[in-house]
Structure 1
Amino acid sequence: MEVITSERRRRHWSRADKERIVAAALQPGATILSVARAFGVHSSQVFRWRQQLRGKEALPGFAAVTIAADPHAAAARTQGLIEVEIGTETRTRISGPADVATVTAVASALRAGS
């Protein structure tokens, strides 16, 4: 049997505390569950705070694209070339005829990976 001697009240977190907890959850290798347990909150609360603190800035949008001159551009125009770089580690290059099926497959693969 458990005897409750006081009334349990909701905890109120300051914005600074919420930001600190959300920042800890965004660290590489951190999980929401481990961070929530470390700070004594429920994992759904960390998800909610992350969404609230993110605001409208994290809405999906267009990525910046840079069009650079390619020294092999003349050959690429006659052969066909699709090249997509994401960050510094991901590069996809498809040479040859760029038919509709190939372009659709590349776009679908990129969309599935994001």
Structure 2
Amino acid sequence: MEIINGVERRRRWRTEDKLRILAEIDAGARLAVVARRHDVSRGLIWQWRDAQRRGRLAVETPSFVPVHVVSALPGAEAMERVGGASCPGDALEGERSVEIVLPDGTRLRVAENIGAAALRRLLLVLRG
């Protein structure tokens, strides 16, 4: 059951759900029956079919991103001389920090006094 409240009165269908519904029709089920079962209009399913035929409805495939390896992080020597942390996560141990756990399980530990703009940039990068 899906509860729709607030200003938005339309359901937002995930691409995976659209493709699953279209697969039922491709397997031989009647469009009207599938539409009733999922409480979606037949016209919307036709739009999804058209989008699928034109290649506009596809699950985004995972891809690799370029990585640049550096020999040392800036300031790493200073941390070693002071007996500081060997990795960025350990650098916060002496400070008060906040740990943020994202829905996908990613953990982000930041200093408690991080600026809103910096935190926003970090979260945008993590979301991809």
TM-score normalised by length of structure 2 = 0.36
TM-score normalised by length of structure 1 = 0.40
